[in-house]
């Protein structure tokens, strides 16, 4: 990967980190509050089902994670195993797509699922 | 060798290790987290079936660990952003302790509400 792309990844890692910091604070507060009386589908879906605000929040959260985590994994693999070939970039790209798809599936599930 | 030892006994080195390990473990946990929430696609009962499993004390213990990892990764990341993007100030030396403290508070608050 050329230097310009490395700089872009560095910037994307930091920008997604800043966004994730906000998302994680909201997520932590929500979790700490939600587990007070035990987790249940009714509690989770009662909060998220049909709620556009939570849909947007979790969609942004997942998108930021799908950018942030694969870049971090790529750095760890490159530094730990000295893996710096094209295969590493393919792996990171595949990880990003997988997280994005699985994450969005989960977002859709808690927004619109639970009816059955 | 002496320099290596000194560098690795510095709190900033341990902050680096915590940030790296927490990031790695959280990235490995994410697919499981997404799969679990995806159970809602098959109905609330299916999601409840999974959530009953999380009532096990060992799972609660692991959940608390994950919350601690998430909080530590966030506060450690904010510390890194402050070091990279802000002009250097003496107070930045205390960020490490503040990051650890806030992460512990989050983990303890989760645990206290969970049990």
Determine whether the interchain pair B47/A14 forms a contact, defined as Cβ–Cβ distance below 8 Å: no
Q: What is the mean pLDDT of residues B58-78?
A: 96
Q: Give the residue among B89, B63, B79 at the shortest CA–CA distance from B19.
A: B79
Q: How far apart are alpha carbons A59 and A45 in whole angstroms?
A: 16
- Model confidence at B106, pLDDT cuts 50, 70, 90, reads very high
pLDDT score recorded for residue A98: 97
Cα distance from B34 to chain A (closest Cα, Å)? 5
Q: What is the ipTM of this complex?
A: 0.92
Residues 51-110, chain B, touching A (beta carbon < 8 A): 51, 54-55, 67, 70-71, 73-74, 77-78, 80-81, 84-85, 106, 109-110
Q: What is the pLDDT of residues B12-54, one digit of tens each?
A: 899 999 999 999 999 999 999 999 999 888 888 888 888 888 8
Output b/e per residue, A74-106; b: 16+ Cβ within 10 A.
bbbbeeeeeeeeeebeebbeebbeebbebbbbb
Calpha distance A1→A3 (Å, rounded): 7
CA B113-B53-A73 angle, 5° bins? 80
The candidate with the shortest Cα–Cα distance to B102, out of B70, B72, B69, B81, is: B72
Judged by CB atoms closer than 8 Å, whether chains meet at A106 and B33 is answered as yes
Chain A residue whose CA is closest to B84: A14
Separation of alpha carbons B114 and A26, rounded Å = 18
- By C-alpha distance, the chain A residue nearest B52 is A40
pLDDT tens digits, one per residue of A82-99: 998 899 999 999 999 999
Specify the pLDDT at position B2.
Answer: 57
> What pTM was estimated for this model as a whole?
0.91
The tens digit of pLDDT for each residue in A43-53 reads 899 999 999 99
Residue with tokens 């990171």: A92
Q: Which two tokens stand for residue A75?
A: 């750095």
CB B51 within 8 A of CB B44: no
* Alpha-carbon span B53 to B13, nearest angstrom: 37
d(CA B10, CA B17): 11
Residue whose pair of structure tokens reads 């650890």 in the numeric block: B100
Low-confidence ranges of chain A (pLDDT < 50): 116
Structure tokens at A32: 């700490």
Angstroms from A3 CA to nearest CA on chain B? 19
């Amino acid at each position: 990967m050329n230097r310009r792309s490395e700089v872009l990844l560095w910037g994307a890692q930091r920008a997604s980190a800043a966004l994730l910091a906000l998302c994680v604070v909201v997520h932590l507060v929500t979790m700490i509050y939600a587990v007070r009386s035990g987790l249940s589908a009714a509690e989770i879906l009662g909060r998220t089902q049909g709620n556009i605000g939570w849909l947007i929040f979790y969609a942004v959260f997942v998108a930021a994670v799908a950018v942030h985590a694969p870049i971090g994994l790529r750095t760890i693999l490159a530094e730990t195993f000295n893996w710096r070939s094209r295969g590493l970039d393919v792996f990171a790209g595949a990880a990003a797509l997988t997280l994005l798809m699985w994450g969005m599936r989960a977002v859709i599930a808690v927004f619109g699922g639970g009816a059955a | 060798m002496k320099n290596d030892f000194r560098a690795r006994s510095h709190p900033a080195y341990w902050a680096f290790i915590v940030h790296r390990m927490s990031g790695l473990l959280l990235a490995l946990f994410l697919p499981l987290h997404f799969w679990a929430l995806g159970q809602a696609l098959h109905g609330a009962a299916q999601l409840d079936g999974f959530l009953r499993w999380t009532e096990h004390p060992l799972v609660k213990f692991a959940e608390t660990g994950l919350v601690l990892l998430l909080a530590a990764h966030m506060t450690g990341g904010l510390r890194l952003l402050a070091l990279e993007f802000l002009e250097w100030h003496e107070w930045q030396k205390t960020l490490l302790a503040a990051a650890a403290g806030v992460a512990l508070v989050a983990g303890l608050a989760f645990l206290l509400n969970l049990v």
